[in-house]
Chain A
Amino acid sequence: MENGKTMMAADAGGAARERLEAVLDGLESAVYAADARNDEILFANRAFRTLHGGDTVGRVLRDLVVPLPERGDYRVDPRGLAGDDAPCELFDGELLQPRGGRWYHVREQAVRWVDGRIVRLGIATDITDRKKTAEIARQQEERISRTARLITMGEMASMLAHEINQPLSAIANYCAGCIARMQAGASMQELLPAMRKASEQAERAGKIIRRIREFVKKSEPRRAPAPVSAILDEALAFAEIDARRAGIRLAVDVAPGLPDVYADRIMIEQVVLNLVRNGLDAMKDAIGDERVLTVRARACGERLVEIAVIDRGHGIDEEDRERLFQPFFTTKAEGMGMGLAICRSIVEFHNGRLSVESGPEDGTMFAFTLPVEGGACE
């Protein structure tokens, strides 16, 4: 910088221009200026030049790598602009380059060039990756909500329990009332309407049971080869929401090179999610670094993959351990007690085994096996 002073004194304007060009060349977006009347390129920054393989000044702004607005896309036709119309905005939008399949965000403005001409000053930014990420996020969300629909099976059971409670309670009431009246010597005529209503309620309960059966039939499993990591990704994307809310970290440990399993993905996702949720529930009172729940997948011989959910929660009493998998066994105020029962039958349907043991440090480990593709039926 010794001669900076002299340079600045000698040619302050030139230095300013150089600095400006350095800034423009540093941009990742392509910047260009072209004559508004004949499209002659008057300036192009480094990004623009790189895209077009060399200097483009003097060329005409057409058939380029960067997609540009067509005539009809402009707010005002740049060709017809007079001196005092500038500066004004010409275009702002996203354009697809049909040959390369890349997306650009393009902004063009009409400004007066140094020599008084009207030029289109444009900046084009490649947004393909950003668009892709947004698209992936959207797909992910869609998948999560699909998983969410399925996961409500436990909630569905809870709703049905509520629904079936209604006719059952009504039947009990009608019958208890009849008994009291019979003991007081009531006539048959007096009791008949209540008995009729009781049997109608029994039919209502029967209908609810039939609905459950149909629901179960419709969700019959479909097995296909599936990558373990994809199954875990989907289940955990959903569990992550609960974990974050509970202030618990999910650690995922998938052994590299696992073979695909032969399974109904959605069902296995449901198993994983149920186990993770139980683990989170058990860790309500865990402290500090104990607030980690690990999901681990590894090979178990050549024909099986084992998925384990390891929590650091309050563990399980010896006497409860026997009953965990029984339907409706729960120790939670709002529990349904169906989670583990459903998990076990899903795993067993897949010829796997769901087992429980104390965790390696403290807490509990639930682990289940799945056959790898081709390993199921021998």
Chain B
Amino acid sequence: MNEAESGQKIFIVDDDEALRDSLVWLLESHGHAVAAFGCAGDFLAAWNKDLIGCLLLDVRMPGMSGPELFEELARRHSTLPVIFITGHGDVPMAVAALKKGAVDFIEKPFAGNDMLHIIAHCLAREREERERRRAGADTARRLAQLTAREREVLELIVDGKLNKQIADTLGISIKTVEVHRSRLMEKMGARSLASLIRQVMSARTDEARG
């Protein structure tokens, strides 16, 4: 898949000019869109929350280091996945960064293919993640449009109750349940019971995750 078309971009922050330039060359050779920065400050100045793709981040840099930039991005609730570029002796630091949510790290000198695989994997995950967030936001918006009664019916459907049981529980006729049911299916944009349940469940796990 050509990421340039998907709108994803690979951002590089590395203080070594040759390394930066060569990475741009290599990644562009494989059809990626790339933007490179010589220091953490330059990247922060260009950063906004809508950037999509991934960030290749050097660990050792004068001024703000890679891990420091990583933490600053976390403070800003950045959703851009981060891959660290590590040199000799940086492995313990990279492991610490992984525990804090960095996606992966690549060791210098790189084996070119490994790096490309890691990046491709990271971009694919970022797409999925973004899709999931978009779907979650969509579900939330649709849920907000339900009436109180429709929401009650939805709860019971998700609990696996039949129309008859729902009618008994809420003290309404089966006919009325059916009306609520078809209206809420429409509002949720769900084509089947299965897809409705999936949608609601994934919105709930998202909520639980924060």
Contact = CB atoms under 8 A, between A and B. Distances in A.
B: interface residue count bin: 20 to 34
Interface string A158-194: 1001100111111111101110110000000000001
Interface stretch (B3-11, B42-50, B67-75, B105-113): B105-113
A177 B25 contact: yes
Grouping DSSP codes into helix (H, G, I), strand (E, B) and loop, the B interface class, with mixed when no group exceeds half, is: helix
A197 B91 contact: no
Given A174-B25, A197-B21, A158 B110 contact: no
Contact of A165 (B28, B29, B87): B87
Contacts of A162: 60, 87-89
Nearest to B16: A166
Contact of B88 (A158, A172, A194): A158
B78 to A, nearest CB: 26
A204 interface: yes
Given A165-B87, A333-B92, A197 B22 contact: yes
B23 interface: yes
Interface residues of A, number: 27
Grouping DSSP codes into helix (H, G, I), strand (E, B) and loop, the A interface class, with mixed when no group exceeds half, is: helix
B29 A204 contact: no
Given A173-B26, A177-B29, A201 B108 contact: no
B18 A165 contact: no
Interface in B91-114: 91-92, 108-113
Interface of B: 16, 18-19, 21-23, 25-30, 60, 87-89, 91-92, 108-113
23 contacts: A158-B88, A161-B88, A162-B87, A162-B89, A165-B109, A166-B16, A166-B108, A168-B108, A168-B109, A169-B22, A169-B109, A172-B22, A173-B25, A173-B26, A173-B112, A174-B25, A176-B112, A177-B22, A177-B25, A177-B28, A177-B29, A204-B18, A333-B91
